[in-house]
């Protein structure tokens, strides 16, 4: 069993436990549940940088990245830096995140928030909405076409945008449907954790222009992003490059200012 398979197996057990502890009515009573959507897709279409800055404490490939700063400190820094939106890791076992991180981020900023999670159940979409998310992530590598269709349709009914993550042409072809808003190409192989920007380059022309194109992982230099912008990408999810510093917000600000020159 590879790392991705282990994560998904653990996630299904985790969701089953959370369902038994917190009924859907608990989440629907949240004051954030009826909060209007702040569209990340619109912000990315009009941005010169397209940066989606990520709060990320650790990962299976890098272990500890940054556990010294509070969510609020990181989010305030990213907001001040001019990020288009924020990605908040909510998986605890493998990434050190939590739903509480998402809620704290929502209390700190008005920017669009992505719940970065391994979504396997509609219940997680309701959690995301209740904790202030504006969009959710679906990963094509771990979902069937039918599951993607069901989850993305439910997300849209909840007034959440959908970012679908793909890694190759096969995943793209099985997943294209009207209920998606953004298509993200993950340059990191989730089974081996190797990173290659060639993944984004190879898939750029295959993604229909009706979707906002997002490149994820391994984005650490300005030139790489400018090349990806030239072939149609409008969003760039950057986490580790900022979080590995002592001041993620300052690192993001310098990065974004260089992109906007």
Is 213 catalytic? The answer is no
Q: Are strands 58-59 and 63-64 parallel, antiparallel or unpaired?
A: antiparallel
Which of the residues 54, 117, 171, 240 is marked catalytic? 54
Is 226 catalytic? The answer is no
- DSSP letter, residue 163: E
Q: Can you tell me the distance from the alpha carbon of 105 to that of 206, in angstroms, rounded to the nearest whole number?
A: 34
Q: Can you tell me the distance from the alpha carbon of 158 to that of 94, in angstroms, rounded to the nearest whole number?
A: 27
Which of the residues 87, 200, 217, 241 is marked catalytic? 217
Is 98 catalytic? The answer is no
Which of the residues 161, 216, 240, 241 is marked catalytic? 216
Is 217 catalytic? The answer is yes
Local structure of 216: helix, strand or coil: strand
Q: Exposure of 178 by Cβ count < 10 A (0-12 exposed, 13-18 middle, 19+ buried)? A: exposed
Is 168 catalytic? The answer is no
Strand partners, 152: none
Which of the residues 116, 117, 127, 215 is marked catalytic? 116
Query: Two tokens at 255?
Result: 């990065």
Closest CA relative to residue 119, chosen from 156, 96, 90: 90
Which of the residues 186, 187, 200, 215 is marked catalytic? 186
Q: What is the 3-state secondary structure (H, E, C) of 120-160?
A: CCHHHHHHHHHCCCCEEEEEHHHCCHHHHHHHHHHHHHCCC
**What is the chain's Cα-based Rg?**
17
For 83, 159, 203, 208, 214, the CA distances from 181, given in Å and listed in that order, are: 19, 12, 17, 11, 11
Q: Can you tell me the distance from the alpha carbon of 112 to that of 41, in angstroms, rounded to the nearest whole number?
A: 9
Q: Can you tell me the distance from the alpha carbon of 205 to that of 125, in angstroms, rounded to the nearest whole number?
A: 30
Which of the residues 56, 127, 175, 200 is marked catalytic? 56
Is 186 catalytic? The answer is yes
Is 171 catalytic? The answer is no
CB atoms inside a 10 Å sphere around CB 85:
27
Report the catalytic residues.
54, 56, 116, 165, 186, 216-217
């Amino acid at each position: 069993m590879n790392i991705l398979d282990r994560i998904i197996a653990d996630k299904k057990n985790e969701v089953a436990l959370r369902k038994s502890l917190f009924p859907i009515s608990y989440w629907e009573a949240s004051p954030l549940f009826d909060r209007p959507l702040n569209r990340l897709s619109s912000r990315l279409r009009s941005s010169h940088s397209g940066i989606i800055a990520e709060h990320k404490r650790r990962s299976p490939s890098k272990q500890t990245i940054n556990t010294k700063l509070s969510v609020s400190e990181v989010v305030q820094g990213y907001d001040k830096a001019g990020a288009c939106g924020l990605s908040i890791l909510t998986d605890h076992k493998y990434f050190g995140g939590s739903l509480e991180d998402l809620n704290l981020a929502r209390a700190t900023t008005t920017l669009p928030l992505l719940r970065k999670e391994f979504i396997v159940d509609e219940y997680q979409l309701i959690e995301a909405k209740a904790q202030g998310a504006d969009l959710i992530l679906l990963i094509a590598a771990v979902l069937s076409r039918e599951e993607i269709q069901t989850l993305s349709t439910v997300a849209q009914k909840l007034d959440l945008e959908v970012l679908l993550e793909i890694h190759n042409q096969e995943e793209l072809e099985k997943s294209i449907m009207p209920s998606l808003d953004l298509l993200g190409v993950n340059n990191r192989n989730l089974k081996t954790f190797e990173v290659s920007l060639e993944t984004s380059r190879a898939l750029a022309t295959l993604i229909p222009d009706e979707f906002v194109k997002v490149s994820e992982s391994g984005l650490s230099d300005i030139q790489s992003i400018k090349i990806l912008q030239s072939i149609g990408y409008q969003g760039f999810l950057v986490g580790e490059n900022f979080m590995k510093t002592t001041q993620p917000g300052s690192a993001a600000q310098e990065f974004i200012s260089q992109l906007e020159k």
